[in-house]
Amino acid sequence: MAEITASAVKELREKTGAGMIDCKNALVEANGDGAAAIEILRKKGVATAGKKAGRVTAEGVVGSYIHMGGKVGVMVEVNCESDFVARGEEFQQLVKDVAMHIAAADPRYVNRSEVPTEDLEKEREILREQLKNDPKNANKPDDVLDKIIEGRLNKFFEESVLVDQPFVKDPSKTIGELVTEKIASIKENITIRRFTRYKMGEGIEKKQDDFAAEVASMVG
């Protein structure tokens, strides 16, 4: 299998406007052949979707999802370009799917740009300490450890960032890829703007009764 370099992914992205993950997957499928990768992206409609990414999305809907007998609830705003599309069945289903996914996967951010720098640095610090405590890494230079850390940060993004999470109904694709597919199908740009997830009782410190103290007070 041909080695897929970062420069090849970047070049394909510039040519097609598709996302980084889509470009990498297309190059893997095409065994590194750039022309074949472009054809793969076009067949999937992803290249077309990428070109729509700069369009303004001022319409859309706020969707909701309640799960587990009212124990978890989600509100999410998903935007598109026109009210006509916003009222369409395909777009409405996407909003429902995204809201349900948020309820199940509990992401913290919509995309990577929302992750605070201090959170990323804290995660890097934790990963670095873990690596240093592993004897196998004793003689590895810092630049090698840095590359390992950046690779492992992808796991952090998969767990915390909505568009990087595997879609709960189809883990073979991420939420970002799901949205990209819908952009290609609906022919309008689509963005997930924001969400709020509620878990019943979250943040409330429940009173813990001290049974022994209660008995002592009764007999004392």
| Each residue's pLDDT tens digit, 74-106 | 999 999 999 999 999 999 999 999 999 999 999
Structure tokens at 94: 């996407």
Residue 42: other Cβ atoms inside 10 A: 15
Helix 117-132 × helix 142-160 angle, to 10°:
130
Domain boundaries, the chain: 6-51, 59-199
Q: Which CATH number fits domain 59-199: 1.10.3720.10, 3.30.479.20, 3.50.50.60, 3.40.640.10?
A: 3.30.479.20
| pLDDT recorded at residue 65 | 96
Report residue 195's pLDDT band, with 50, 70 and 90 as the boundaries: very high
pLDDT beyond 60 at 33: yes
Written as one letter, the residue type at 133 is N
Question: pLDDT averaged over the chain?
Answer: 85
Structure tokens at 154: 């992808």
pLDDT beyond 80 at 56: no
Q: Which residues pair with 62 in a beta bridge?
A: 77
Q: Which residues pair with 65 in a beta bridge?
A: 74
Domain over 6-51 is classified CATH 1.10.8.10: yes
> How far is the CA of 147 from the CAs of 14, 21, 100, 123, 131, in angstroms?
24, 19, 34, 14, 12
- CA–CA separation, 129 vs 66, rounded Å? 40
